[in-house]
Amino acid sequence: MDSALIPEGVKRCSFGKFIFWLVIFGAVLLWGIVAMLLCWFKGLNQTNMNDAYGFALWIWADLAVIAVGGGAFFTGLLRYIFGKDELKNIINFAVLIGFICYSSALLILAIDIGQPLRGWFIFWHANVHSMLTEVAFCLSCYFAVLTIEYIPLILENRQIDRVPFFHNLSHNMHGVMAIFAATGAFLSFFHQGSLGGVAGVLFGRPFAFREGVFIWPWTFFLFTWSAAACGPCFTILITWITEKITKKKLVRKNVIMLLAKIAGWMLATYTIAKIIDTWYWATVTAPAAGHNFMDFYSNNPLYGIWILVLEIVICGVIPSIILITKTGRRYSFLLVGAVFLGALGACVNRWVMVLQVMAVPVLTFESWFMYFPSWQEIATTILPVAYGIMLIMISYRYLPIFPQEREIEEEKHASIFV
Amino acid sequence: MKEQHKHTKAKKYGMVIDLDKCTGCGACMAACMAENNVSFKKDESDKLLSITWMRVYKLTNGKKFPEADICYLPRPCMHCEGDHGHAPCVSVCPATATDYSHETGIVSQIYTRCFGCRYCMAACPYHARYFNWWDPVWPDGMEKYLSPNVSPRMRGVVEKCSFCFHRYQLAMDKAYIEGRRELEEDEYQTSCTQACPADAIIFGDLNNPGHAVTQIAKPDHKHGGRPMNPNAFRLLERLGTNPKVYYLSSRRWVRRAGDNYIKDERG
Amino acid sequence: MKVCRRSFLSLIIGGAAGVALSPLPLKLTDDSSIWTQMWPWTPVPEDGEVSHVDSICTLCPGGCGITVRKVATMSGDRAIKIEGMKGHPVNDGGICVLGLSGLQLLYSPTRVKTPLKRAGARGEGRWEEISWDEAIAEVVKKLEGLREKGKSHTVACISGTDSGTTAHLLGRFLTVYGSPNFIRIPSIQDSYELTMRLMQGVQASAGFDVENADFVLSFGSGLIEGWGSPVRMIKANSTWKDRGKVVQIEPRLSNTAAKSDKWIAINPGTETVLALSIAHVIIQKSLYSADFVNNYSSGFKEFKQIVLDEFSPDDVSEITGVSASTIESLAKSFAGASKPLAVCGRGQGETPGSLNEFMAVHALNALVGNINKTGGVWAVPDPDYIKWPEVEMDRTAANGMRKARIDGAGSKRYPDVRYLLDRLPDAINSGKEYPVEALFVAGANPVYTIPDSNAVKEAFNRVPFVVSFSSYMDETAANADLILPNHVFLERYEDVPAPVGLQKPIIGLSKPVVKPQFNTKHVGDAILLMAKSFGGMIADAFPWDSYEACLKETLGNKWDSLINDGFWFDSNFRPADWKSAFNTPSGKFEFVNKGLAELVKIEGDEQSYPLILIPYDSMRLASGFIGNPPFAIKTVEDTVLKGNDIVVEVNPRSARGFREGDHGILSTPKGSVKVRVHHFDGIMPGLVALPRGLGHTAYDEYLAGKGVNFNELIGPVEDPVSGLNAAWGIRAKLTRA
Amino acid sequence: MLPFSFEWLWDISHMVFMGGLWYALTILGLGMTYCIIKAIVDTAKGKGSHSH
């Protein structure tokens, strides 16, 4: 029915099946939209946030999707600046994931603020000292970059490509893509960092506060680094999942291996840096504010020391070891497990740096603050997931996201007939 | 964070709260609500959703009967000076909706500018900032008592104690009309200070050696305003927030409750 | 066809691009933001010229001076803030939570806006709005009917106070009408008055020179929690921080206890014994004022005998839970202080208490000779500015006035006491006396404030005609047949004499700050109208055109200073010296013996009720006839009220099986309620403390339905000597919800 | 954001931060303008039309 729109030389599932799944995820999306509208029209009383939890699930979701969406900028950086040419075979998908992540982040931010209609004040009345201003500027600029990177992909749709103007536009954009990518990498470096800075500069919150250089706390660099490490992990993970669902190979193994190796080294160095940071914080920074390290990990089952072990050892050390060793990478289940843990590590880190910061009491006469999100918060957080799946479904079906797909398919057919 | 150079001398308005005198009666809280058009709703028992610019905490010494002891601690906004006006909340506000005035030392909040990101709330270790989760609603007829000097806040913005800044403005206006550029100590007092039946709250200019606040707290401006009065302390002094609210207590456990100490640390 | 689609698409895309590039989106973005900055549903207070009015707050008997800020706007004057009056002898600028929330009462939606006549069943909440003429006619018709039947004495009036012109007008009306049943709301004032009468032979209220005392021994009085004139006491407490000591004796670490220099946790109900034991030490060690005891007292020998025989510290330490050494050192420091002062009356003093306890504590004051002395207890005569001509009664009235009072006050059994409201519900319900045919309530909310709420409600239901003068739809008004709404204190003139506990005579004047907001009428004017309707001698007793005229005439030359300063104060007042102070038969201070050792036994047996429930008071909870306004309820901590649940304090040792915040059922012989448990190390094991002032069923959604009224869980316990309510607690048990 | 909004200061923070922002925006803007104009020119030259 829609075969005219499907890229040439590849197979797609039936239109009916496609629509069926689209409707399923559309329903989830709709649920999220209802929740979103409730928040906009009735206000943030729809959430379970309170004056102790000014930042909660949404800010975590924001930080997490941006961290795992870091694959786009880092792969772009590797491909366009460092000339890792093989990565051109995964860059489209990385860009798509990045686009989904960043658009989701912006949407969540638009729901999260108390006065969405005044959201643009962050630009207009910008306070250049605020990490959040830096986040907002770089985030929206980088989203513009991602859009620019995503547009040529859309234009490559079989029907659109027929229009000469779009064909030429797409061609020209490819021509200057390196400049866009470089700008994007620059912007991304800063907003990933400033998201880390958001927590790190809170000198009123000893759990979050870190020393640093110039205006940037250590978390600034750690966040950028971890996004560069975990973003590619997430890209690989989603690629693997897509391959499992479509039941075919979409990216050649050498591409994945290269990306996994680089991600592994990034993750390993990040983990070392994170351990040093944690050590210094636990023994110098926090005690200076009068806090015992274990003060931060006691009193309640959620924020026990296990969360630190999970973040650093299970989601840092272990996947690093797997990814930097050839043997580790060779076994598919180890590789997938490692990239999963890597992406999870970034999410746990963001959780800790947002929610545990709020939970830890600072005034001696207050106690731990616990919070559980309302359904509206959960629905609006799941909304981007449904939206992401739908956008991947549509993009995969109609756009040449995976340049190697046709080749691999043809080889497979050839091998059958040989 | 703009430095404003006016002809007047720079003030550093601050407060001393005598916890030995404070009886926990709550008058400061109500005085604040009445002065500043603070809204209320049906259930205010969830203190994490209850806007109280001035909140009185009840501290306990953690001992068993009959050694148990309690102390009340009123907590307005600390109007932190941080390092040269680098208050925890001011520097993080992305929209410049909150500002440290070098003219008065007061941390302001512009409600029409705030777009409700709540970063300042995350930054404030004193929980002195409150978010308008709901539209403020006054029961039919009760809006008649609202003061024209303080605008009621709309849903979706952050609010907090302003040291009754409008009173400063009114006092300054009056002084200017009378040809004066400086205020007398009693011309500008916050609502809570005025109401306190125990006279436990003292308010004034910490830069002015003649003001009672300065004489009692004896702030050491060379060392970030640290009090030289041995019974005086500030909340979470070690964080470097440099608050302008000082507390007095003759009880050691109360003074120690003002800050965190690592195990076996003396303080 | 294809061209068509293309041009259509181009039109759409081009149009969108055009609009996007035009100033329209920018304009819309800007406009929408401006709209959020002035949402029409967020009120903008109207501005205008600011002025101030000095007045007196009458929300409690404290008599504080207030300065009300108001703004003159196009739509009329608005009162915008109540502040404490600087320079007022009672509160000098200070003010309490309730006073600060006064404007929420003035502009409250729970105000009764016009006279109301009950339309449905009692308490159903269905009302018919009627005019003042109709309302007055209704009352007069009813009263005339009773009078014709010779039942004038079956009319009773409950009043929040018996001083001031309004109360006097009420009392005068009742007298010329022919009923002896004017009843004041009970408090420790009753016990102190009785103590003054029995020990000093004077009709006076007790004044405490707290500002000058340097050692305050408090037997459970909530000195900074609303006892006496609250703001004045808190101010005094601050002066004690500089020069003075406070010792607080009570089983729970109240705020007063926490602020005191020494807290002595005592077994509840044994305060009398402790006081007598302190007397024992003082007498035994001859620490008493020999001059006073030898020259100005009588009955000391007998007193000494009893005290020395039965109340040695060793004897009482087990009963009281206070060690003998503590008692001895306490007695020594008390007697050794230069201006010691002993006070009693638990909490805010809303329960009159045991007369023995009051006399034992007052005996301590006598032993150290601080009666009518600086820093001591002063007998403050009732203000005497109301000098109206004696009423002339017709025969019906005289007959009615000869009847015994329904509450038993002044009877053979309780000869010395003037009012016994706590006995009224039982008197009505048991039908032992005559039935009450009509009941007037002014400045009081007995349905809420009188113990044993069920009995009180039953009694109300037995009275065929209940008239409330309440400004608000409180519990009593809701259970009335007719409401004649009074102006709120900010809308009316009112003389406010003798703030409770003050040692010097002072008269304050409440002034109208704003004009009446609704179709209300001053109680005084309502009475004048009623009297005029009656005609005859009743009308003759009220020769004034209006309440204001009456007030002006009554205050005479004080009127001008009251209008200008807001108060009249006799700062030169000195109490009578010892030679002339005592009007007892002996002409001396009498150490009266009326069964000193007898302790008040509380209701309930220990077997079924292992715990003891005591109430506690807080400045943040108005437990009198005014309910907490929204600001005040907002200040209440979440360890007192959580959602609609009341939270009770229990020592962790007695709260076995209950974690912090757990639900439980608290039962007493009077009733059981759902509570939440708060572990508090400051309360004696074996006790449960419940805050007073919650559990309103009337008022608005900000107050109604929150928590439990303590009076539902306790009944009065009659003091054998005075007949006043002496219940300090009740046996209770806490079970799983 | 613009030098005429009132909280703007000509200090180092604003110059660095806003400098970076406007620099990035300029690159993106110019880049896109270039691509679009070139695409229009190319299309006018007849490039990109598929022969089938």
Residue with tokens 């731990």: A368
Q: Rounded distance, CA A286 to CA A281, Å?
A: 6
Tell whether D11 is within 8 A of chain B (Cβ).
no
Cβ pair C108:B141 closer than 8 A = yes
| In the predicted structure, residue C141 carries a pLDDT above the cut 60 | yes
CA distance A209 to chain B (A): 10
Cβ pair A364:B88 closer than 8 A = no
A211 and B131 Cβ atoms separated by less than 8 Å: no
Predicted confidence band of residue D1 (pLDDT cuts 50, 70, 90): confident
Percentage of chain B beyond pLDDT 90 is: 91
Mean pLDDT for the stretch of residues A374-398: 95
Q: What is the pLDDT of residues C537-551, one digit of tens each?
A: 999 999 999 999 999
Q: CB neighbours of C303 closer than 8 A, spacing ≥ 6?
A: C279, C363, C591, C593
CA distance B52 to chain D (A): 30
Domains C189-382 and C611-736 are alike in CATH topology: no
Q: Rounded distance, CA C501 to CA C503, Å?
A: 6
Q: What is the pLDDT of residues C329-338, one digit of tens each?
A: 999 999 999 9
Domain spans in chain A, listed from the N-terminal domain onward: 15-409
Q: What is the topology classification, in CATH, of domain C611-736?
A: Barwin-like endoglucanases (2.40.40)
pLDDT attached to residue C2: 54
| Mutation target among A40, A42, A50, A117 for the C interface, most CBs of C within 10 A | A117
Interface subset of A 100-129, CB within 8 angstroms of C: 115, 117-118, 120-121
Q: What is the pLDDT of residues C603-658, one digit of tens each?
A: 999 999 999 999 999 999 999 999 999 999 999 999 999 999 999 999 999 988 89
Mean pLDDT for the stretch of residues C418-433: 94
| Mutation target among C234, C618, C650, C696 for the B interface, most CBs of B within 10 A | C234
pLDDT attached to residue A416: 60
Cis peptide before A400 (omega within 30 of 0): no
Of C573 and C56, the one with more pLDDT: C56
Domain spans in chain C, listed from the N-terminal domain onward: 2-36, 116-186+388-565, 189-382, 611-736
Q: Which domains does chain B have, with CATH numbers?
A: 13-256 (3.30.70.20)
Per the structure block, which two tokens stand in for C114?
A: 């016009």
Q: Rounded distance, CA C417 to CA C409, Å?
A: 6
Percentage of chain C beyond pLDDT 90 is: 88
Mean pLDDT for the stretch of residues C673-680: 97
Superfamily of domain C189-382: Dimethylsulfoxide Reductase, domain 2 (3.40.228.10)
Q: What is the pLDDT of residues A3-32, one digit of tens each?
A: 888 888 888 888 999 999 999 999 999 999
Q: What is the pLDDT of residues B167-176, one digit of tens each?
A: 999 999 999 9
Give me Rg for the CA atoms of chain B: 18
| In the predicted structure, residue D51 carries a pLDDT above the cut 60 | no
Closest-CA residue of D relative to B95 is: D7
User: Shortest CA distance to A176 belongs to which of A149, A199, A157?
Assistant: A149
C487 and C132 Cβ atoms separated by less than 8 Å: no
Per the structure block, which two tokens stand in for C501?
A: 């506990």
B175 and B182 Cβ atoms separated by less than 8 Å: yes
pLDDT attached to residue C597: 59
User: Which whole-number Å values give the CA distances from C229 to C207, C357, C625, in the listed order?
Assistant: 11, 21, 16
Cβ pair B114:A292 closer than 8 A = no
Closest-CA residue of A relative to D23 is: A183
Helix ranges, A118-163 (H) = 121-124, 131-155, 158-162
Three-state secondary-structure class, residue B103: coil
CA distance C235 to chain B (A): 5
Q: Rounded distance, CA C497 to CA C165, Å?
A: 9
Interface subset of B 196-255, CB within 8 angstroms of A: 235-236, 238-241
Q: Rounded distance, CA C102 to CA C629, Å?
A: 8
Per the DSSP assignment, residues forming a β-bridge with C72 are C49, C77
Closest-CA residue of A relative to D15 is: A128
pLDDT attached to residue C477: 96
Pairing of strands C377-381, C49-56: unpaired
pLDDT attached to residue C454: 94
Tell whether A163 is within 8 A of chain B (Cβ).
no
Cβ pair A141:D25 closer than 8 A = yes
Percentage of chain C beyond pLDDT 70 is: 99
| In the predicted structure, residue D48 carries a pLDDT above the cut 80 | no
Predicted confidence band of residue D44 (pLDDT cuts 50, 70, 90): confident
pLDDT attached to residue A185: 85
Tell me whether chains B and C touch (3+ CB pairs under 8 A): yes
pLDDT attached to residue C678: 97
Write down which chains contact chain A via at least 3 CB pairs under 8 A.
B, C, D
Tell whether A253 is within 8 A of chain C (Cβ).
no
Predicted confidence band of residue B217 (pLDDT cuts 50, 70, 90): very high
Per the DSSP assignment, residues forming a β-bridge with B99 are B108
Least confident of A130-139, A318-327, B86-95, B229-238: A130-139
Percentage of chain A beyond pLDDT 70 is: 99
Q: How many CB pairs under 8 A join A and C?
A: 12
Q: Of the candidates C81, C633, C637, which has its C-beta nearest B34's C-beta?
A: C81
Q: Rounded distance, CA C55 to CA C68, Å?
A: 7
Does the ipTM exceed 0.90?
Answer: yes
| Phi, psi values for residue C83, rounded to 5° | -130, 160
Q: How many CB pairs under 8 A join A and B?
A: 170
Closest-CA residue of B relative to A356 is: B122
Cβ pair A172:D21 closer than 8 A = no
pLDDT attached to residue D49: 67
Helix ranges, chain B (H) = 27-35, 119-123, 165-177, 191-195, 212-217, 252-256
Of C97 and A82, the one with more pLDDT: C97
Cβ pair C36:A115 closer than 8 A = yes
Write down which chains contact chain D via at least 3 CB pairs under 8 A.
A, B
Pairing of strands B232-233, A216-217: unpaired
CATH, domain A15-409, list 1.10.3720.10, 3.90.1150.10, 1.20.1630.10, 3.50.50.60: 1.20.1630.10
CA distance C355 to chain A (A): 42
Predicted confidence band of residue A408 (pLDDT cuts 50, 70, 90): confident
Per the structure block, which two tokens stand in for C644?
A: 């609609």
The pLDDT mean for chain C works out to 94
Q: Rounded distance, CA C316 to CA C264, Å?
A: 14
Q: Of the candidates D7, D28, D47, which has its C-beta nearest A145's C-beta?
A: D28
Predicted confidence band of residue C686 (pLDDT cuts 50, 70, 90): very high
pLDDT attached to residue C7: 81
Q: How many CB pairs under 8 A join A and D?
A: 75
The residue length of chain A stands at 418
pLDDT attached to residue B4: 45
Predicted confidence band of residue C396 (pLDDT cuts 50, 70, 90): very high
Closest-CA residue of A relative to B243 is: A204
Tell whether D21 is within 8 A of chain B (Cβ).
no
Q: Rounded distance, CA A106 to CA A127, Å?
A: 19
Tell me whether chains C and D touch (3+ CB pairs under 8 A): no
Q: CB neighbours of A357 closer than 8 A, spacing ≥ 6?
A: A55, A199, A202, A205, A207, A208, B122
CA distance D26 to chain B (A): 23
| Mutation target among A8, A124, A125, A128 for the D interface, most CBs of D within 10 A | A128
- State in words which class domain C116-186+388-565 has: alpha beta
Would you give the DSSP letter of residue A269? Answer: H
The pLDDT mean for chain D works out to 81
Pairing of strands B107-109, B129-131: unpaired
Interface subset of B 98-157, CB within 8 angstroms of C: 112, 135-136, 138-148, 151-156
Look up the pTM and report it: 0.94
The pLDDT mean for chain A works out to 91
